[in-house]
């Protein structure tokens, strides 16, 4: 008999490739999930459209560019009718960009653009979608960060002079998570490093396949409790030092 339980609802940004796509792929393998996949150009997201023919869960594609604040605000009008009164159980702020630079060669315009997508964008997405999150019983925000956002770990990673714009933006995203937890203790807000994953962004030398990273991410986020809110975690549940 079909399940009569309410669907678990998800919004994943940056869903057309990499970790975002794999999140959507694994989520729609279950008929218990309703997934809203947000990306800059849904009409060009051929892999996402292909998932619709095999998905067991509900899959909806919406347009959202997290570097375009008007686009973020406009996306709410697409998503609210999809979710109706169900609310949004899980918001996954996954969309991100990187740039190869050094502290003394970085382009300040590129730095601002990176902050816009990686930190300001997730902040606004969380703000815009808060009314739908508040309707949910779960109320989880997952901010997909990176280990390079950890000031305490940067020497150990061997990246002390590399990727400053990206690292600074992820450190800002980590702070956003702590502030979200402080402002709304009724929510579960987590910042999480997916590991070095073999994606377009992570490159071919990543230590993890997307399937492994995302399986870990979903385990962490679905098992998270209010005691985990404000934490900085790895995809395997380990705590990362700030």
Q: What is the DSSP string of 124-174?
A: HHHHHHHHHHHTSSS-EEEEE--GGG-GGGHHHHT-TTS-HHHHHHHHHHH
Rounded to whole angstroms, the Cα distance separating 82 from 97 reads 28
Residue 96, φ and ψ in degrees, nearest 5: -160, 160
- Give this prediction's pTM: 0.93
| Residue-wise pLDDT tens digits, 55-66 | 999 999 999 999
Q: Which domains does the chain have, with CATH numbers?
A: 8-234 (3.40.50.720)
Q: What is the pLDDT of residue 162?
A: 77
Mean pLDDT in order along the chain per 10 residues (242 residues) = 72 96 97 97 95 94 97 98 95 94 94 97 98 97 96 78 90 98 98 85 72 97 98 97 94
Q: What is the pLDDT of residue 3?
A: 47
How many whole angstroms from its chain centre is CA 41? 17
| Nearest 10 degrees: Cα torsion 201, 205, 208, 211 | 60
Rounded to whole angstroms, the Cα distance separating 211 from 23 reads 9
| Residue-wise pLDDT tens digits, 203-236 | 666 668 999 999 999 999 999 999 999 999 999 9
Structure tokens at 113: 């653009």
Q: What is the pLDDT of residue 155?
A: 78
| Nearest 10 degrees: Cα torsion 121, 123, 128, 133 | 130
Q: Are 166 and 148 in contact (CB under 8 A)?
A: yes
């Amino acid at each position: 008999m079909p399940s009569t339980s309410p669907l678990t609802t998800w919004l994943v940004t940056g869903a057309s490739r990499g970790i975002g796509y794999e999140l959507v792929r694994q989520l729609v393998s279950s008929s218990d999930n309703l997934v809203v996949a947000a990306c800059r150009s849904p009409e060009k997201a051929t892999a996402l459209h292909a998932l619709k023919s095999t998905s067991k869960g509900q899959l909806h594609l919406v347009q959202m560019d997290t570097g375009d604040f008007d686009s973020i605000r406009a996306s709410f009008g697409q998503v609210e009718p999809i979710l109706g009164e169900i609310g949004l159980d899980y918001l996954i702020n996954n969309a991100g960009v990187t740039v190869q630079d050094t502290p003394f060669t970085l382009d300040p315009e590129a730095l601002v653009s990176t902050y816009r997508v990686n930190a300001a964008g997730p902040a606004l997405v969380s703000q815009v979608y808060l009314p739908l999150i508040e309707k949910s019983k779960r109320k989880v925000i997952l901010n997909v960060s990176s280990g390079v956002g950890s000031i305490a770990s940067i020497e150990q990673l061997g990246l002390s002079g590399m990727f400053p714009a990206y690292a600074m933006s992820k450190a800002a995203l980590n702070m956003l998570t702590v502030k979200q937890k402080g402002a709304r203790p009724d929510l579960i807000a987590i910042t999480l490093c997916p590991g070095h994953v073999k994606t377009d962004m992570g490159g071919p030398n990543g230590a993890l396949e997307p399937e492994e990273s995302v399986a870990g991410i979903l385990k962490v986020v679905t098992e998270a409790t209010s005691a985990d809110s404000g934490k900085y975690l790895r995809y395997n549940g380990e705590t990362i030092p700030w």
